[in-house]
Every structure is written in C-alpha cells, then in structure tokens.
C-alpha cells in the first residue's frame, strides 16, 4: 500500500466560510504525518478545488473527514469508492458520535483524534490484521461490529506536525499562498461542556496548547509566504487567558501581528487587558457562540452565561473596535417560534456584523 488519498467534502449550503478557502486541518495534518512516513499522500478539499474522481479511484486507500453537514456527501463518496474495491476509512466529529451509522457506508471509522494512531492503522490495513490494537477504531469482522476504546487525547501538542498545505490538490506549488486567510491551530479542547456542542466529545475538556515558540514559527512562515490574515483554529482561543496573553505579547514583541480572527466566549469582554492585547496584536473579528437570548435555553444548554453577559460583551467589543460574528442555536425545548423572531431583532438591534443561525 503506497497511495493514500484524503477527502474533505464540501458543505451543501452557503455558510460563513463559503467565500474563502479555509480547509479544516484534520486531513492535512494526517496527510503530513503519512508523508513523513514515506507514503504518497494527497488531500482533496472541495472548498479549495474540484475532486478528481479518476485520481481518487487509483488510491490504495481513501480517508474521508466529515462533519454533520457534509456527512451525506461523504457517505455517497464512500459508497462509490468502495464499489471500486478500495478500502474507505472515515473520521471527524459526526462519525465520532455516530460510528454505527458510518459503518453502513465505510469499512473503518476513526473516532476522536487520529494524529497518533493513523500510522498504526495504515500498517494494520497493509497487513490485514491488528485492527483490534488501533485505539478509537470501529470496524466489522466476521459479521460483527467492534468499537475499540477511543484513543487518549494528544497530551503533548508540540509533537503534532505543522500542516503541509502543498499536499492539498491545487496547492502543490503555492501552498498557503493561495489562501486569503491561513488556519493556525494553537490549542485543542474547551474547559466548558455545553450540552449541544461536539467539541468536548471530540477534543475533551482539558485545554491543551502548543508552546508559543511553535505557534510563532507558523506565524513567521505565514508572514514570509505573504500571508496577511490568520484564523486561529482553536475551539476556544482564550480559554486559558494567561496563556493567550503570553502568546499575544510575544506576537507584538516579535512584530508578527497579522489581522486575525478566532473563536472566543463572551467572558473575553470582562478582561480589558486581554482586549487591549487582542486589538494591538491584530484582532479583527471574533466568532462567539452567543447561542440564545432565552435565559431558560442558556441554562438548558449549560452555557454558563447570561443574556446580560451577551449584551455587555457586544457593547464592550464594539467599543474596542473588534467585529463580531454571532452564532445562535435554535431548537431547544425551551424555545418557541417567538424566540426566533426575538433573536433576529436582537442581532439587528445590537449591530452584529454577521450572524449564523444553527439548528
């Protein structure tokens, strides 16, 4: 087995990232690991470029990464590829929670973080045995379904390789130069545990972060390649405020301050020192899970924030000239049809620069 292809399907509808090429990092990181182990690897990211099915069908194995919105297309791809006799494995948040569903369409499901097990899995695939030793793997054998215990979360984030974007089809020569905004991961996990969120199931509640020196290395590389924008691909960029401040101080001192965006919580607005550093280091827009303006829904979501926190956060961030992409989740048992209309009015009244409604 030599040639391995990864696929990240395109979401079916217009979304916040539709106007920019911003791949999720899963397939790129796994591709980079396998390349370092001598495999011929390519990653197709449909938001970046068109899928070459003819090329895909020459692979020895195909891996697909999926979230819920892309799962239908992911399963359709898997069925087609398996018909050609090519083994298909799949990972990502959706199938981590729904492995039995996924096994109706694929041969193997990799649950949770696969960074430290992907090589062992490929070795098992080559040998045709040893799958029971691969943490986090779900598979069928002799008509039975087996779910291996999920692998531990990566403890040392600095052991993770820097993503090689030239492995993405269409970016072989340019790499991240073609991006309007470059994704850089500085941490995984979130200490909160909102009831509707997939993050803790996928990456855990323990907040794990990379040393600022390694983050700076990626920022320097992005700068040298002409990158002007960065999206910090963290689940909660400011979960550990002391650590975030140290990183932002280092960016300012090192004069590496591209315009950047990140996902944060409303509590950033309660720390003026943090806001000052965010603005000085180049923060342009933050993506915030506001979730609901219904107090009962916020309680049901285990959000640990109030409607007053939301109002104060919006006011404070705007005062500090930081733009807001507000994200709301509809569908709580506590919601009514009036909740939707009230939320839209709230977003307009508070001048949110962009809004995303999820169900």
pLDDT digits (tens, 9 = 90+) for 181-196: 899 999 998 888 888 8
Architecture in CATH for domain 3-147: 3-Layer(aba) Sandwich (3.40)
Provide DSSP, 131-185: GGGSTTEEEEETTEEEEPPPPPPPS-GGGSPPP-GGGBTT-TTTGGGG-SSEEE-
Asked if residue 184 lies in contact with residue 232, where contact means CB atoms within 8 angstroms, the answer is yes
* Other C-beta atoms lying within 10 Å of the C-beta of residue 259: 13
d(CA 167, CA 34): 11
Domain with CATH 3.20.20.70 in the chain: 181-358
| Portions of the chain given CATH number 3.40.50.280 | 3-147
Question: 100 is written with which tokens?
Answer: 């039995």
Percentage of the chain beyond pLDDT 70 is: 97
Residue 233: name the closest of 263, 208, 209 by CA.
263
pLDDT tens-digit readout, 291-338: 999 999 999 999 999 999 999 999 999 999 999 999 999 988 988 889
Can you tell me the distance from the alpha carbon of 170 to that of 56, in angstroms, rounded to the nearest whole number?
A: 14
Tens of pLDDT along the chain (359 residues)? 799 999 999 887 655 555 556 678 889 999 999 999 999 999 999 988 889 999 999 999 999 999 998 999 999 999 999 999 999 999 999 999 999 999 999 999 999 999 999 999 999 999 999 999 999 999 999 889 999 998 778 889 999 988 998 999 988 777 667 777 899 999 998 888 888 887 877 787 788 999 999 999 999 999 998 888 999 999 999 999 999 999 999 999 999 999 999 999 999 999 999 999 999 999 999 999 999 999 999 999 999 999 999 999 999 999 999 999 999 999 889 888 899 899 999 999 999 999 999 88
pTM: 0.89
DSSP 185-229: --EE--S---TT-SHHHHH-SS-EE--HHHHHHHHHHHHHTT--E
Superfamily of domain 181-358: Aldolase class I (3.20.20.70)
Q: Note whether 187 and 210 are within 8 A (CB).
A: yes
């Amino acid at each position: 087995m030599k040639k391995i292809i990864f696929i990240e399907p395109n979401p079916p509808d217009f979304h916040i990232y539709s106007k920019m090429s911003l791949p999720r990092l899963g397939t790129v990181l796994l591709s980079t690991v396998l390349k370092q182990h001598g495999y011929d690897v390519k990653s197709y990211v449909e938001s970046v470029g068109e899928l070459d099915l003819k090329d895909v069908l020459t692979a020895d194995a195909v891996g697909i990464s999926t979230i819920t919105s892309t799962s239908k297309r992911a399963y359709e791809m898997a069925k087609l590829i398996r018909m050609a006799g090519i083994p298909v494995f799949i990972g990502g948040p959706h199938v981590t929670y729904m492995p039995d569903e996924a096994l109706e369409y694929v041969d193997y499901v990799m649950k949770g973080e696969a960074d430290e097990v992907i090589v062992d899995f490929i070795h098992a695939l080559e040998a045709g045995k040893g799958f029971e030793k691969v943490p986090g793997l779900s598979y069928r054998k002799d008509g039975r379904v087996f779910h291996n215990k999920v692998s531990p979360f990566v403890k040392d984030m600095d052991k993770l390789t820097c993503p090689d974007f030239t492995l993405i089809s269409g970016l072989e020569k340019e790499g991240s130069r073609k991006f309007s905004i470059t994704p850089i991961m500085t941490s995984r996990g979130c200490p909160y545990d909102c009831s509707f969120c997939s993050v803790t199931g996928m990456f855990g509640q323990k907040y794990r972060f990379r040393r600022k020196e390694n983050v700076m290395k990626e920022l320097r590389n992005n700068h040298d390649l002409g990158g002007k924008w960065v999206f910090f691909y963290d689940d909660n960029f400011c979960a550990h405020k002391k650590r975030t401040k140290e990183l932002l101080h280092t960016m300012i001192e090192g004069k590496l301050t591209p315009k950047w965006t990140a996902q944060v919580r409303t509590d950033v607005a309660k720390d003026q020192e943090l806001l000052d550093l965010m603005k000085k280091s180049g923060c342009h827009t933050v993506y915030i899970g506001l979730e609901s303006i219904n107090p009962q829904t916020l309680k049901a979501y285990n959000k640990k924030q109030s409607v007053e926190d939301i109002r104060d956060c919006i006011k404070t961030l705007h005062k500090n000239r930081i733009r807001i992409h507000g994200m709301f989740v509809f569908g709580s048992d506590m919601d009514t049809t009036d909740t939707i209309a009230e939320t839209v009015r709230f977003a307009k009244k508070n001048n949110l620069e962009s809004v995303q409604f999820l169900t």
